[in-house]
Amino acid sequence: MKHIIVAKRGEIMIFKILKRDFFRKKVITIAVFVFVMLSALLAASGTNLLIDLSNSLDYLFKKASAPHFVQYHAGDIEQKQIAEWSEANPYVKSQQTSEMINIDGAKIYINSDLSESDTVMDLGFVKQNRTFDYLLNLDNEIITVNEAEIAVPIHYMQSKDLSIGDKLVIKDDNLELNFTITHFVRDAQMNPSVVSSKRFVVSSADFEKLKNGTGEIEYLISFQLIDRADLNKFSNQYSRSVLPKKGPAIDYQLLLLFNSLTDGIIAVVIIIISFLLNIIALLCLRFVILLTIEEDYKEIGVMKAIGISPPDIKRIYISKYFVIALGASLSGYLFSLFVNKIFSKNIMLYIGKAPKSIFMSGIPLLAAFIIGLIVVFFSMIVLRRLNKISPVEAIRMGNTGGNYSNNEKFSLYKSKLLNTNIFLGIRDVVLRFKFYILLFFVFILATFIIIVPLNLLNTLQSEGFVTYMGLGQSDIIMDIRQSDQIVERFEEVKTYLESDLDVKRYSPLVTSTYEIMNIDNLPESIYIETGDLTVFPIDYIEGMAPLQANEIALSYLSANEYEKQVGDEVQLISNKNTRSMLVTGIYQDVTNGGRTAKANIEPNYETATWFNIYVDVDKDIFKKIQEYELVFEDVKIIGQKGYLEQTFGNTIEQLRLLTITAIIVAILVTVLITSLFLKMLIARDKSQIAIKKSIGISIKDIKIEYITKSLLVLNIGIIIGTLISNTLGQKLFSVILAMMGAPKFKFIINPIEAYILSPVMMIIIVTLTTLLSINSIRQITIADINVE
Amino acid sequence: MNIILEAKNLAKTYLVNKREKHVLKNINMSIKEGELICVMGPSGSGKSTLLYNISGMDKMTAGDVIFNGTGLGDLSEEELSRLRLDKMGFVFQQINLLKNLGIIDNIVMSAYMAKNRSRKEINQQAINLMKKTNIIELADNDITQASGGQLQRAAICRALINNPEIIFGDEPTGALNSRAAREVMDVFHTVNSEGTTVMIVTHDVKVASQSERVLFMMDGSIVGEYLLGKFNRLEDNLKHRERKLASWLLEMGF
pLDDT by residue (tens digit) across A679-694? 888 888 888 999 999 9
Domain ranges of chain B: 35-43+62-204+230-252
Across the A:B interface, residue pairs with CB atoms under 8 Å apart total: 115
Greatest mean pLDDT among A250-259, A627-636, B144-153, B193-202: B193-202
Contact A408 B102 (CB under 8 A): yes
- Are B101 and A428 a contacting pair at CB < 8 A? no
B205 touches chain A (CB under 8 A): no
**Residue A527 has what pLDDT?**
83
- ipTM of the complex, rounded to two decimals: 0.89
Look at residue A276 and tell me whether its pLDDT is greater than 60.
yes
Instruction: Please give the pLDDT value at position B201.
Output: 95
Q: How far apart are the C-alpha atoms of B25 and B10, rounded to whole Å?
A: 7
Of A301 and B65, the structure prediction assigns the larger pLDDT to B65
**Higher-confidence residue: A266 or B5?**
B5
Residue A516 contacts residue A569 (beta carbons within 8 Å): no
Torsion of CA A268, A270, A271, A272, to 10 degrees: 90
pLDDT at residue A786 tops 60: no
**DSSP of A345-412, one letter per residue?**
HHHHHHT------HHHHHHHHHHHHHHHHHHHHHHHHHGGGGGG--HHHHHHH-S-S------GGG-T
Nearest to A412 among B86, B93, B109 (CB): B109
Average pLDDT value for chain A: 85
CB-based contact A95:A223 (threshold 8 Å): yes
Facing B52 at nearest CB: one of A688, A701, A783: A783
Strand-pairing partners, residue A505, are: A616
In the beta sheet, which residues pair with residue A170?
A108, A177
Helix (H, G, I), strand (E, B) or coil at A295: helix
Nearest-CA neighbor of A95 among A133, A149, A59?
A133
A673 to chain B, minimum CA–CA distance in Å? 25
The partner residue sitting opposite A697, judged by closest CB among B108, B113, B141, is B113
- Cα–Cα dist B37/B210, whole Å: 9
Convert A341-374 to b/e letters by CB count within 10 Å (16 or more is b): eebbebbebbbbbbeeeeebeeebbebbbbbbeb
The span from the CA of A381 to the CA of A360, in Å, is 32
A62-71, A380-389, A426-435, range with greatest mean pLDDT = A62-71
A81 HSE (CA, 13 A, CB side):
9
CA distances from B219 to B26, B44, B56 (A): 11, 7, 21
Shortest CA distance from B118: residue in chain A:
A418
Residue A13: per-residue pLDDT: 63
The answer to whether B163 faces chain A, any CB pair under 8 Å, is: no
B85 touches chain A (CB under 8 A): yes
- Cβ distance B113 to A691 less than 8 Å, yes or no, reads no
Contacts of A432 (CB under 8 A, 6+ apart): A402, A404, B100
Report chain B residues whose CB lies below 8 A from the CB of A692: 98
* Terminal C-alpha separation, chain B: 30
Alpha carbon of B229: minimum distance to chain A alpha carbons (Å): 30
SS3 track for chain B = CCEEEEEEEEEEEEEECCEEEEEEEEEEEEEECCCEEEEECCCCCCHHHHHHHHCCCCCCCEEEEEECCEEHHHCCHHHHHHHHHHHEEEEECCCCCCCCCCHHHHHHHHHHHHCCCCHHHHHHHHHHHHHHCCCHHHCCCCHHHCCHHHHHHHHHHHHHCCCCCEEEEECCCCCCCHHHHHHHHHHHHHHHHCCCEEEEECCCHHHHCCCCEEEEEECCEEEEEEECCCCCCCCCCHHHHHHHHHHHHHHHCC
**What one-letter code names the amino acid at A325?**
A
In chain A, residues with a C-beta closer than 8 Å to the C-beta of B89 are 695
Q: Which residue, among A602, A611, A652, has the nearest Cα to A632 in the 3D structure?
A: A611
- Return the pLDDT at A408: 65
pLDDT at A365: 93
Identify which of A4-13, A255-264, A657-666 has the greatest average pLDDT. A657-666
Taking an 8 Å cut-off on Cβ atoms, the answer to whether A397 and B144 are in contact is: yes
Task: Average the pLDDT over A585-591 and give the result.
Answer: 86
Best CATH choice for the domain B35-43+62-204+230-252 from the list 3.40.50.700, 3.40.50.300, 1.20.1600.10, 1.10.10.10: 3.40.50.300
The Cα B157–Cα B139 span in angstroms is 11
Contact between A420 and B112 using a beta-carbon 8 Å cutoff: yes
A405, B104: Cβ pair inside 8 Å?
Answer: no
State residue A323's pLDDT score. Answer: 85
The minimum CA-CA distance between B102 and chain A, rounded to whole Å, is 5
User: Which of B86, B90, B142 is facing A405, going by the closest CB pair?
Assistant: B142
What backbone phi and psi angles, to 5 degrees, belong to A198? -135, 140
Q: What is the mean pLDDT of residues B118-147?
A: 90
The residue ranking higher by pLDDT, A374 or A273, is A374
Beta strand A577-587 with A551-555: parallel, antiparallel or unpaired?
parallel
pLDDT-based confidence at B79, cuts 50/70/90?
very high
pLDDT of A787: 44
Nearest residue, CB atoms, A696 vs list B82, B108, B142: B82
Instruction: Give the CA angle between residues B233, B236, B242 to the nearest 5°.
Output: 100
Measured over the CA atoms of residue A305, residue A310, residue A312 and residue A315, the dihedral's sign is positive
Q: Per-residue pLDDT tens for A36-52?
A: 898 899 889 889 988 98
**Is B145 an interface residue toward A (CB < 8 Å)?**
yes
Q: Is the CB of A696 less than 8 angstroms away from the CB of B84?
A: yes
* Better pLDDT: A15 or B184: B184
Predicted pLDDT of residue B70: 92
Residue B171 has pLDDT above 50, yes or no: yes
- pLDDT tens digits, A661-680: 889 988 998 998 899 889 88
Q: Which DSSP state fits A113?
A: S
Beta strands in A33-80 (DSSP E): 69-73
Query: Which of B105, B124, B140, B163 is best to mutate for the A interface (most A CBs within 10 A)?
Result: B105
Best residue in A410, A423, A694, A775 for a mutation probing chain B (most B CBs within 10 Å): A694
Q: Which residues lie below 8 Å from residue B191, measured CB to CB, with a gap of 6+?
A: B156, B160, B167, B198
**Length of chain A counted residue by residue:** 788
Please, are residues A415 and B123 in contact by the beta-carbon 8 Å criterion? no
A696 part of contact set with chain B, CB < 8 Å: yes
**Average pLDDT, integer, range A334-352:** 86
- pTM of the full structure: 0.75
Which residues on B lie below 8 Å from A686 (Cβ)? none
User: Which of A25, A26, A13 is closest to A300 using CA atoms?
Assistant: A13
Taking CB atoms and an 8 Å limit, are B57 and A403 in contact across chains? no
Which of residues A180 and A541 earns the better pLDDT score? A180
Helix, strand, coil proportions of chain A in percent (round to 5)? 55, 20, 25
**To the nearest whole percent, how much of chain B has pLDDT over 90?**
68
Rounded to 10 degrees, the C-alpha dihedral A51/A54/A56/A58 comes to: -140
Name the burial class of residue A690, with classes exposed (0-12), middle (13-18) and buried (19+) by CB atoms within 10 angstroms of its CB: buried
Strands A523-530 and A596-599: parallel
**Per-residue model confidence as pLDDT tens digits over B93-114:** 888 888 888 899 999 999 998 8
Q: Which of B58, B60, B81 to mutate to test the interface with A (most CBs of A within 10 A)?
A: B81
CA distance A243 to A252: 20
Residue A766 distance to chain B (closest CA, Å) = 25
Bridge partners of B226, per DSSP, are B214
Q: What separation, in Å, do the N-terminal and C-terminal C-alpha atoms of chain A show? A: 33
Q: Residue A788 has what pLDDT?
A: 37
Each residue of A595-621: pLDDT tens digit? 889 999 888 887 777 888 999 998 888
Nearest residue of A to residue B168 by CA position? Answer: A695
- For A151, the 3-state DSSP assignment is strand
- CB contact under 8 Å between B113 and A781, yes or no, is no
Question: What phi and psi values does residue A70 have, to the nearest 5 degrees?
Answer: -130, 125
Query: Which H helix or E strand runs over A181?
Result: strand A175-185
| pLDDT tens per residue across span A469-508 | 778 888 888 888 766 678 888 888 889 988 888 889 999 9
**Interatomic CA distance for residues A60 and A48, integer angstroms:** 18
Q: Which residue of A has its CA nearest to B78?
A: A698
